[in-house]
Amino acid sequence: MSEICLVLTAATVVENLEIAKRNHSLIDILELRTDLLDEDQYQLLADFPSLIDKPVILTCRKVVDGGLWNKDEKQRREYLLNWMEGDYSYIDLEMDLKNDSAVVEKALSRGITIIRSFHDFNTVPADLYEKMISFADDQKTIVKGAVYPQTSEELFRLIDTALKLKKSDKIDSFILLGMGEFGFPTRILSEKLGSYLTFCSDSHESRGAPGHCSASDLNNIYNFRNITSSTVINSIIGNPVSQSKSPQIHNLGYKKKSIDAVYVPFLTDSPRWFMEIARLLEIHGSSVTVPFKSEIIPLVDHIDKSVNQIGASNTIYRDRHGRWLATNTDAYGLIKPLLDFIGVKDLDSRKVAVIGAGGAARAAVFALLDMGAQVAIFNRTHPKGLELADLFSCRAYPLEESSIEELKEYSSIIVQTTNVGMAPLEHIDPLDFYSFSGDELVYDIIYKPEETLLMKKAAEAGCPVLGGFKMLEEQAYLQFKLFTGIDYN
Ligand code: ATR
């Protein structure tokens, strides 16, 4: 099984011991980054492994390799030889120390496993596979490559290399990880990729390496210990994607329902390359978020009615023949909380105002019409509103004071779908020209902040008010069901 290694990046031994203690139950191995320690700590380092009941990797990383050691190389060798008097389990040595017989012999004589490492902070080298193989100089050495994918295509290359190495008999043990946000999935999926371990941090603000996951997130969000060769991978793609709450929602569901699956965020710049990654990793389903909801459509084998009409898909998954299907759970996610809130099964010709005419409005109009409502669209850019209205054969008006009478007519339910009310527009009320009577039901699909300016104003006038958090949950629950066949709740 791939192990979890916590990188110790504090300036003193005492602080590092505290961090190790705090994460003790979450990790298997510690890496002591001696290059990040204050110099007055060096004398304590031969004793360090005896202060802790986990195997320790001894690492002194130079500036060129992404560390902070900027002193003399001769001194570094001497320190390493000295510190190896302690009971370290591993020593991380870059290629330039390959032929340093004193360091290598000392490690071997002390039973310390050598990790032969190299770093590339710019890319995933085209010859990564050959490079890794060429470093595997004997059976006992663990070869480590830490590379920095900057695109989905480079992440594909990295994953492809790892899977080839996993099958190869030319290499025994290796660690292969991608830095940065594009590389993040490799840190979660190290077991799948055949990596001996994954590195993690005490917190997200680590000096260890960019894109580290915390030990707590690895265990508590991603259920890292349960990932095996048979675990199903689901994902979310988008750009950005790191702020998404979906990994928490889906992975919690897998844990609660004992489903052998993991849900991983993939920062993506090319849905086409993501589909190649999905093929390699046999990804079963994926949430799709901004800006790929339309771009994903030509890449799947079949789209349903919701995608056809909304022109966007937020969910793709495979059927039992391996074909990719696309659907849109945003529409269902939007309508379900509204129906529950009112306590009805459909909207039975109710007149509903939709504020906005963007992607979210399209899903809203589709869902509202599907539930039998009569819809009028109110949008700042009137031609865009008319265009959407034309598509769904409904009405459209400009979002301004001149439309007050029409807004009143359709105001039994007002569905706000624009990003106005959310940071950085949290101080704006898209209906600032309108006074609520108290009879309108106001549904703002924004979930952060929990209460927008519009909701506050409506609530003060006595209107029933619904925010967007339930929509987020409902669309995720439906995705969960599509991915796993099991109800979330
Ligand atoms: P999404 O996919 O989240 O719906 P979108 O497709 O970019 O995003 O649509 C954004 C919606 O918010 C549009 O209806 C936009 O109005 P315009 O068509 O006039 O651009 C609306 N919007 C954005 N900023 C706005 C503002 N300051 N006042 C009113 N509407 C605004």
Instruction: Tell me the pLDDT tens digit for each residue of 24-39.
Output: 999 999 999 999 999 9
Domain 331-472 in the same topology as domain 246-328: yes
Query: Ligand 1 center to residue 413 CA distance, Å?
Result: 19
Q: Is 98's C-beta closer than 6 angstroms to any atom of ligand 1? A: no
The pair phi, psi for residue 459, each rounded to 5°, is: -65, -40
Structure-token match 């519009």, residue found: 454
pLDDT tier at 395, thresholds 50, 70, 90: very high
Q: Is 311's C-beta closer than 6 angstroms to any atom of ligand 1? A: no
Residue-wise burial string across 73-98, b where 16 or more C-beta atoms lie within 10 A, e elsewhere: eeebeebbeebbebbbbbbbbbeebe
Mean pLDDT of all residues in 167-187: 96
Q: Residues 293, 336, 457, 470: which is the catalytic one?
A: 293
Say if residues 33 and 7 touch (Cβ distance below 8 Å).
Answer: yes
Instruction: Tell me the pLDDT tens digit for each residue of 417-454.
Output: 999 999 899 999 999 999 999 999 999 999 999 999 99
Picking from 272, 213, 199, the residue whose alpha carbon sits closest to that of residue 237 is 272
Give the chain's largest Cα–Cα span: 87
Say if residues 371 and 346 touch (Cβ distance below 8 Å).
Answer: yes
Structure-token match 């439309």, residue found: 403
Q: Could you confirm whether 131 is annotated as catalytic?
A: no
Residue 205: what pLDDT? 55
Mean pLDDT of all residues in 110-122: 95
pLDDT tier at 212, thresholds 50, 70, 90: confident
With a cut of 60, say whether residue 204 has pLDDT above it: no
For domain 331-472, give the CATH number.
3.40.50.720
Domain locations in the chain?
Answer: 3-229, 246-328, 331-472
Mean pLDDT of all residues in 210-218: 87
Candidates 289, 290, 419: which one to mutate for ligand 1, based on the most atoms within 8 Å of Cβ? 419
The arrangement of secondary structure in 3-229, i.e. its CATH architecture, is: Alpha-Beta Barrel (3.20)
- Cα–Cα distance between 233 and 262 in angstroms, integer? 5
- Cα–Cα distance between 336 and 334 in angstroms, integer? 6
The arrangement of secondary structure in 246-328, i.e. its CATH architecture, is: 3-Layer(aba) Sandwich (3.40)
pLDDT tier at 113, thresholds 50, 70, 90: very high
Q: Is 420's C-beta closer than 6 angstroms to any atom of ligand 1? A: yes
Helices 469-484 and 329-342, packing angle to 10 deg: 130
Q: Is 86's C-beta closer than 6 angstroms to any atom of ligand 1? A: no
With a cut of 60, say whether residue 69 has pLDDT above it: yes
Nearest CA to ligand 1 atom 18: 381
Which range has the worst mean pLDDT, 86-100, 230-244, 306-320? 86-100
| Average pLDDT for the chain | 95
Residues whose CB is less than 8 angstroms from the CB of residue 344 and which lie 6 or more positions away in sequence, other chains included: none
Picking from 255, 274, 258, the residue whose alpha carbon sits closest to that of residue 266 is 274
Residue 139: what pLDDT? 63
Structure-token match 């004992």, residue found: 258
Residue 209: what pLDDT? 62
Measured over the CA atoms of residue 379, residue 384, residue 386 and residue 387, the dihedral's sign is negative
Query: Ligand 1 center to residue 185 CA distance, Å?
Result: 32
Instruction: Tell me the pLDDT tens digit for each residue of 304-330.
Output: 999 999 999 999 999 999 999 999 999
Residue 161: in which H helix or E strand, if any? helix 152-167
Q: Is 416's C-beta closer than 6 angstroms to any atom of ligand 1? A: no
